[in-house]
Structure formats: structure tokens, C-alpha cells
Chain A
Amino acid sequence: MESHRAVANVGVGSHIRSRDFSSRIRLETHPVCRVRPANLTYYTSQVTVLSGLLCNFSSLAATEFSVGGKIMWRKPEDSKPAAPAAEIPAPAAAPRVEPAVRSVAGLTAEVVQPSGGIITSTLLIKGEVRGSDDLYVDGEVQGTIHLTNGRVTVGPHGKISADVDAREIIVRGKVTGALRGRERVEIGSTGEVRGDIATSRIAIGEGAQIHSKVEIARVENSQNNRALAKASGGASAASQVVAMKAGGENGN
């Protein structure tokens, strides 16, 4: 079970989600700010911090929470804030609030707070990036990226000049290099890819720019063949492709 305890480090827009729906997220509000609910609250599955309040001691506390998209409570408007007016951008004063949090407004929810690493827009990495967790790239990477079981997400400002090998690859920025997504590759409407794409499923958003060879791996083993033959009503399992709708394109 993942636990997210550092409320003080959670900035506006942060979306904390547990992959295990049976787990709970523990969210603490800072006692000095006197926000509700009580200092320690449990939420199930997912919480979004909708607004923040800059406190004197340069940490944040949330004044609104949503759980699963529904606003659970909101700080009453007649209460005096314990801090100066919130026109100061809250994340600027928060230590270790990743810039990626602010840049996530337009992204799909599942990539807002990756469990793995974040390469922010100010970073340039040259070399080999290896790991097993998810990786969110909003900066620049030159070299290779290899994640044994993770997802690589290239943010709108991300620029990768590298071959990428991961379980899942989502591109909303620019990639020059071969993409190998063992399960899935998604090219968003702002994505641009120059390099071969090999995967078992691909989703292409309206406006995506692809200058590549696209290759879909065929399903070889008998178990998958049976499952796919059943799903497709007897169509050839060897060429089964699940096309996922992405971006705003209709009819896909």
C-alpha cells in the first residue's frame, strides 16, 4: 500500500492515487492552518488537492479536497486564512513540489503523480536511464531509457533523443528514437515521434506527428490465441490489435 504522508509537500493540483483500490490514502493537513477536516483523514483510492493556502512557514495545506472527482468538503469562505492572500503561486514556496505538478493540468489523470521519477523541464539527462518504476519526462533526455516494468510518459515539454524500452510509452512531446512499448504506445495530439515504433497496441491522437515505422507485435502463444479468437469472434488471433481511442479523434 502506498502512503502519502507529506501533506505539507503536496501542492495545488496534486493528484494522489493508489493503484490498489483497497488501500487508503492518509492525508494530513497542517495543524497550524486549521483547515478542515481534522488533522488526519483517510481517503480511499484517490485524492485531488484543489486549492492551496500559503502558510507562514512556507508549507502548504489544502483547503479543498476531492475524492474520486467529487468535492468532499471545502473551507468555508468566511474563515480567515491563516496566511497571506493566496495570490502568490503556492507551489513556488513549497519545498520539493515538483514543477511537473503545475504542468499536469492538461494531462490524463493517471500520469499526474507517477510513482517513479520525474525529469522536470529544467533538467537535461545524458546517458542511460534504467529502472523499474514509471518515469515522467518533461525535460530532455539523450541516450537510452529502459524500464523493466514501468511507463515512460513524455510530457508536452519533454524532448527525448533516445531509444525507449518500457512496458508502456505515452508521448505528448517530442521523441527521436525507437520506441518499444511492450504493452502499449500512445501518441497524443501534441506528440511527435521520429523513430520506429514497436508495440502490441497503439493509440494515435488527432494531430499526432509520426515519421516512423509502426509495427504491432503478433500474439503467438496459444492462451492468448484462444482469448483473442473468442473476443474477436474467430478473427485471426495472429494479427489481433486493440486500438485505443486517444485524443479527440472520433470513430476510432
Chain B
Amino acid sequence: MPGRLSPPGKIQPAKAVAVASSGAIPATPGAVQKSGRQSNGLKEFLWQLEGIGHGHLLDLGPARQTTITFFIERGYKVYTEDLLATWKNFLDDEEQRARKLPAAADRSEMTPEARAKRFLESTMLFPDETFDAVLLWDILDYLDNDLMTRVAARLTSLVRDGGVVFAIFHTRKPVLFNRYRVLDAQNLELIPATCPFEPQRVFQNREISNLFGRYRSSKMFVGRDQLREGLFVK
């Protein structure tokens, strides 16, 4: 199915309905001050999904009742895998393994590249071209280079032709870590949370283009809240 990039109507820049001021919101779930965010990327994403109809959607963020229910009600089978949490658990296990190794042991398996490869041998194990839609959120900003490129490549193989990936990138190094939840067809909710990782980079446009080079088309929405929403149609 050919990718559809332009919904009817004028495209407005994404804007935050309420922005959490930096420093005012602790990045711990214990004192959560959620904020809503009008999202043109989400609107475009849903418009793309209308063209696809029913299908399979992969959410790589934490399982959220509203997000899952939102897409299930639209006829999607939702697969959920909290990639950051899974990666954190994997690294914790690796650390324990490394501590038990004798000093003279071969540690070639413990390099970032080897770890990334082994991680993906046990995660995101789906047949190729399973998904019509992927919610990537801002996960790529928090993965190291080895894993980030492998995850992007794995996603490319998992997405069907005509499928669409919705991703978020920070335009500046983020002060707070947020999880995202779909509130409705036009709004996302940002939920401050504790991040297991430091942000690894701020993507330049060219880097994003290279990462999603195999996709047929892409569109970016830049928000005033230092978030870029990207849509990539395979």
C-alpha cells in the first residue's frame, strides 16, 4: 500500500498543552505531575492507520491501559514490550554474570556490541513483517549506539510495507524523562518517570534520515517543547 503522508487540512506545529517546567517536577513516579500534549504526529499516525485498517501494533513503551485500549478499540492487536525496562533487566543480569567471571576469563562477550546482539536474540522476537504500526516513543534517545542501530534495523524488518513507525526525538538533551500515553486521538500524556539510562545523544536530522533510510517516506513535526515527532512509512 503506498504511504500516505498528507492528511487533508493544514498542518499545525505541535504544541504542548501544558509543559512541565524543568526542575519543578521530580523524575520519580511518587510525585507525578502529568501533562497533556497536543500531538500532530499522533494525528498523522492515526490517519495513516486508517488507511491500513485492522492490523498489528507494537508498543515499545510500558504497558498503559489507555494506550492499549485505544488501539484495541480501533481493531488492532496490540503487542507490548517495554524495551527500556527489558534492556535494564538484561544489563543487570549481565553485570551479575560479569562479577562471577574469574579475572582471566574471556570478556569478549561483554562488549557493548556483543551485549546488544545477545539482547536482541531474546527480545523483539517476531517474524519479519509482522507489524503495521510501531510506537517507538523516545526510546532511541536512551540507547547506546550499538543497540540503537540494531533496534532500528530490527524494527525495519518487523514492519510491513506500508507500515508506519511513530517516534519521538528530543531536540535538546532532556532534563526530565517522560513516559507517554495516548489520551485520545489528538493528545498524548507525558508522565514523568525515573529513567534507567542517561540520554545518549541528540539526533540531528541527517542522522534520523540515515537511521530510517529504508523507509519510503517520512515526516517530522517540531514542537515548542523540544520534542520532534517523526513518522516513517515503510
Residues of A with Cβ closer than 8 Å to B? 187, 202-204, 206-216, 239-241, 243, 245-246, 249-252
A202 B68 Cβ-Cβ under 8 A: yes
Residue of A nearest to B78 (CB): A214
Nearest chain A CB to B174 CB, angstrom units: 22
Task: Annotate B74-110 by CB proximity to A: 1 below 8 A, 0 otherwise.
Answer: 1101111110011000000000000000000000000
CA distance A239 to B74 in the complex (A): 7
Check A209/B63 contact, CB under 8 A, given A204-B68, A214-B79, A251-B189.
yes
A209 B85 Cβ-Cβ under 8 A: yes
Check A211/B86 contact, CB under 8 A, given A204-B68, A251-B183.
yes
Q: Which residues from chain A contact B72 at a C-beta distance below 8 Å?
A: 214-216, 239, 241
CA distance A246 to B66 in the complex (A): 11
Nearest chain A CB to B227 CB, angstrom units: 21
Check A209/B82 contact, CB under 8 A, given A202-B68, A204-B63, A204-B65.
yes
Nearest chain B CB to A246 CB, angstrom units: 7
CA distance A211 to B79 in the complex (A): 7
Residues of B with Cβ closer than 8 Å to A? 29, 34, 62-66, 68-69, 72-75, 77-82, 85-86, 183, 189
Q: Which residues from chain A contact B62 at a C-beta distance below 8 Å?
A: 207, 209
B65 A243 Cβ-Cβ under 8 A: yes
Residue of A nearest to B77 (CB): A215
A211 B78 Cβ-Cβ under 8 A: no
Q: Which residues from chain B contact A246 at a C-beta distance below 8 Å?
A: 65
User: What 9 pairs across the A-B complex have the smallest Cβ distances?
Assistant: A210-B63, A252-B65, A204-B65, A243-B69, A213-B79, A214-B78, A216-B72, A210-B80, A211-B81
CA distance A210 to B83 in the complex (A): 11
CA distance A211 to B60 in the complex (A): 9
Q: Which residues from chain B contact A251 at a C-beta distance below 8 Å?
A: 66, 183, 189
CA distance A240 to B34 in the complex (A): 28
